[in-house]
Structure 1
Amino acid sequence: MDPHLKAMLDDLAAQAAGQEMPLLDMIPPAMVRANYQAQRVATNQGAPKTVATRDITIEGPAGPIPARLYTPQGAAAVTPGLVYYHGGGFVIGDLETHDGHCRRLADFAGVRVLAVDYRLAPEHPFPAGHDDALAAVKWAFDHAAEIGFDPAKIAVGGCSAGGNLAASVAIDLKDDPKRRIAFQLLLYPGIWPEEETQSRKELDGPLLTKEVLAWFEKHLAADGHPQVARVALGRVKDLGGLPPALIVTAGYDPLKDEGRDYAERLNAAGVAAAHVEYPDMVHDFYILGDVSPAVVEAAKETAATLKTALA
């Protein structure tokens, strides 16, 4: 494991030692969200400050969806665009938790990024977040001129649960002739495979534990829903015709096998999908920018691939 990330995890373990920790089910989601935001904002203070931001509102299926537009310094009036969905198991995470990460993507790739603050479970169970994600990318196409997006070069992306949302909307729109997604950026995505992968069986953390995964899935309440395939992408049989993709996984992440397997399924369906694994990284590493220099280097490599894909 990356020594800087290991030191962070060892420090967290030392802080928790001797304390009686309540079960996650006993903690209100609002409190978990607040703690997560505080932790992740604190690890991204070094993100590029030259990126301009503007908070905007998107017309959603159940009301306004907050969003944030990132414009790199010196950007032309029109650039390629990335519609980005934060991670957090569909239950936690927001514009602030992933602000530093979106700043890096915009700065390093030289593209505008539109981050979407979709509705969260359990207050808004499945498929509310997926409906918002789809509405947001449709809005980005339809209002491309207003936000400086080149409509021929719009990508979708996200990390963890956000990677699931990005992959899902790419499937939703693959037959839409007016809204052709150019690229998928899927960072340690949650694919929800039909069968439990080896990495889900063997890895219980760090950060993403079996308890946390079960808590997320319980609150999302997607099991048994008629649209469950929108989140359980392992059930989608036809992946042909989807946009090219980059799928990134981390060596110390229970989700790593399903990300790798999804890349293989895309390639088997004739989709150009590259898979990159960072073997010494953990889940959530892209938003731990101040913890390890390796995180920033990985962000630069990922952004370079995005930039090339949208050139």
Structure 2
Amino acid sequence: MTLHPQARALIEQLHPSGPPDLSTVDVDRAAARGAALAQADRVPIEHVADLDADGVRVRLYRPRPAAPVALYVHGGGWMFHDLETHDAFCRYLADATGWALLAVDFRRAPEHPYPAPLDDVQTAARWLRSHGAEHDVDAAWLPGIGDSSGANLLAGLTVREPSALDFQVLMYPPTDRRWRLDPAADTAALTGAEMDWFWEHYAPGSLGDSPDVSVLRTPDLSQVPPTLVVTAEHDPLAAQGRAYATALAEAGVEVVGFETMGQVHSFWRQPLTMDASRALVPMVGALLDSHRARHR
């Protein structure tokens, strides 16, 4: 399928420049944060609070008292984005689904490569299990939602500690450091060269072969919790996302693979301009509601 017109409009706004420049990482981070903070029309949420999860900075979005809660892990190549860049989307997601979110401000590469980001996500998940009730959210059945590198961190967490989450939603996840990416799938939203660069700064050298990094290479995936894997048709990561869903199914895991046709990497957190995002958000909420009801 050709690019959806909305996806085409998105990539036309982007300026492909190749892999990032290490010397400008701080400047690029600040620019993205500044642009996010300048956004208007943030959805009002009943309660938003910055908290400390055993040393990890997190932000709680609670749309109503006693709401069920999900862990949210943002993307950005393990190097970019933070609580502010994803604030507007987390507000939208919490409001649209009725689910509270605990967004994780994990340490980022290259200053803090693997395993530091994954350690922080693990710490935040454990903290939420133990302290959710103190913040008037229900973490008895705990899912995780992650986009891109954040999805990789969630997948890595459930390989490392399968009981950490009861369900995971993986949006266009990178799952294999050694996967040969198809240049024909490159767009301004993400290229294979950029992805290789991000991998090498998150998990350099042989660290990229660790099972909780290259989750697709994990010998036994049978203990991974039920999973939704969402891929975008025009994304260099789509093939390995589909392969991970297949591997989970072959291991006996309850898994749904869902491909968004005509879409590119990063569409998920663009609900104001992407019909696919606006359609997918309530679907994710309904799926979480259904699985939670089965386990109450």
Q: TM-score, normalised by structure 1?
A: 0.85
Matches within 5 A, 1:122-201: 122-174=110-162, 176=163, 181-192=165-176, 194-196=178-180, 200-201=182-183
- Matched position secondary structure for 2:146: strand
8 Å contact from structure 1 (residues 80, 150) kept in 2:
yes
What is the aligned partner in structure 1 of residue 185 from structure 2? 203
8 Å contact from structure 2 (residues 199, 208) kept in 1:
no
TM-aligned CA distance change 1:206 to 1:305, over 3 Å: farther
Matches within 5 A, 1:285-296: 285-296=267-278
What is the aligned partner in structure 2 of residue 229 from structure 1? 211
Alpha-carbon distance in 1 for matches of 2:207, 2:155? 19
The answer to whether residue 62 in structure 2 is matched with residue 71 in structure 1 is yes
What is the aligned partner in structure 1 of residue 230 from structure 2? 248
1:305 to 271, 279, 287: 287
The answer to whether residue 28 in structure 2 is matched with residue 32 in structure 1 is yes
What is the aligned partner in structure 1 of residue 4 from structure 2? 2
Q: Structure 1: where are the runs of 5+ without partners?
A: none
Name segments (4+ residues, structure 1) moved above 6 Å. none
- 1:26-69 Cα distance to aligned partner (Å, 9 max, x none): 64211222333355666x7455323531111111xxxx221100
Alpha-carbon distance in 2 for matches of 1:84, 1:217? 21
Deviation at 1:296, TM superposition (A): 1.8
- Matched position secondary structure for 1:7: helix
- 1:250-272 Cα distance to aligned partner (Å, 9 max, x none): 11111111111111111111111
The answer to whether residue 60 in structure 2 is matched with residue 58 in structure 1 is no
TM-aligned CA distance change 1:124 to 1:206, over 3 Å: same
Alpha-carbon distance in 2 for matches of 1:37, 1:238? 39
8 Å contact from structure 2 (residues 61, 100) kept in 1:
yes
Q: Which amino acid aligns with 2:31?
A: N
TM-aligned CA distance change 1:103 to 1:23, over 3 Å: closer
- 1:186-217 Cα distance to aligned partner (Å, 9 max, x none): 111111254425xx443122311123213212
Q: Which amino acid aligns with 2:227?
A: A
TM-aligned CA distance change 1:58 to 1:112, over 3 Å: same
Q: Which amino acid aligns with 1:150?
A: D
TM-aligned CA distance change 1:38 to 1:275, over 3 Å: farther
TM-aligned CA distance change 1:38 to 1:310, over 3 Å: farther
TM-aligned CA distance change 1:273 to 1:226, over 3 Å: closer
- 1:146-192 Cα distance to aligned partner (Å, 9 max, x none): 13333431111200000011111122222x5xx5x221111111112
Q: Which amino acid aligns with 1:81?
A: V
TM-aligned CA distance change 1:32 to 1:272, over 3 Å: same
The answer to whether residue 108 in structure 2 is matched with residue 120 in structure 1 is yes
Alpha-carbon distance in 1 for matches of 2:147, 2:19? 26
Work out the percentage of aligned pairs sharing the same amino acid.
34
TM-aligned CA distance change 1:220 to 1:11, over 3 Å: closer
Q: Which amino acid aligns with 2:204?
A: A
TM-aligned CA distance change 1:22 to 1:304, over 3 Å: closer
Alpha-carbon distance in 2 for matches of 1:205, 1:38? 25
- How many pairs does the alignment contain? 291
- Matched position secondary structure for 2:229: strand
Deviation at 1:241, TM superposition (A): 2.1
TM-aligned CA distance change 1:300 to 1:164, over 3 Å: same
